[in-house]
């Protein structure tokens, strides 16, 4: 049963490297959250986005409805599960989303929960402009 709404802003978006993880979800639409997006370079072969919810900017993304099982799998992908040690790099929070239609929705989002020292802020708020190896 599909019951959870999620806002994805990075590699899970359409056209990005991990969008395949959204297979089986239900597309709701494009949206924007208040926040800032950063590029994290953990090593030369691993670059990924990090969102901080704040009033500093606007981050583009997409809203999907997912099942409980898919939400759990996405948590695991984001490093939030018993396989990882706390504190986790991300945390899942409920946030308001301004939909492209003008409606307001609420969805789960994975917010960066670690240090941003050395991270590059992406002022356009759109990860797809920066992802080094999109599919």
2-126, CATH topology level: Hypothetical upf0131 protein ytfp (3.10.490)
pLDDT of residue 130: 87
Beta strands in 44-112 (DSSP E): 46-67, 90-99, 104-112
- Is residue 70 pLDDT above 80, yes or no? yes
Per-residue pLDDT band at 52 (split at 50, 70, 90): very high
pTM of this structure? 0.92
Weakest-pLDDT range from 39-43, 47-51, 72-76: 39-43
Nearest to 95 by CA among 55, 128, 68: 55
Per-residue pLDDT band at 3 (split at 50, 70, 90): confident
């Amino acid at each position: 049963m599909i019951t959870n709404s999620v806002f994805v802003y990075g590699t899970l978006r359409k056209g990005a490297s991990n969008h395949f993880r959204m297979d089986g979800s239900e597309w709701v639409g494009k949206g924007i959250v208040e926040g800032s997006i950063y590029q994290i370079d953990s090593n030369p072969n691993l670059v990924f986005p990090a969102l901080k919810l704040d009033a500093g900017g606007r981050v583009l993304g997409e809203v999907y409805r997912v099942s409980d099982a898919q939400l759990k799998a996405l948590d695991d992908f984001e490093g939030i599960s018993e396989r990882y040690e706390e504190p986790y790099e991300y945390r899942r929070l409920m946030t308001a989303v301004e939909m492209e239609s003008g409606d307001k929705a609420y969805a789960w989002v994975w917010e960066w929960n670690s240090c941003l020292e050395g991270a590059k802020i992406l002022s356009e708020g759109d990860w797809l402009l920066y992802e080094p190896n999109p599919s």
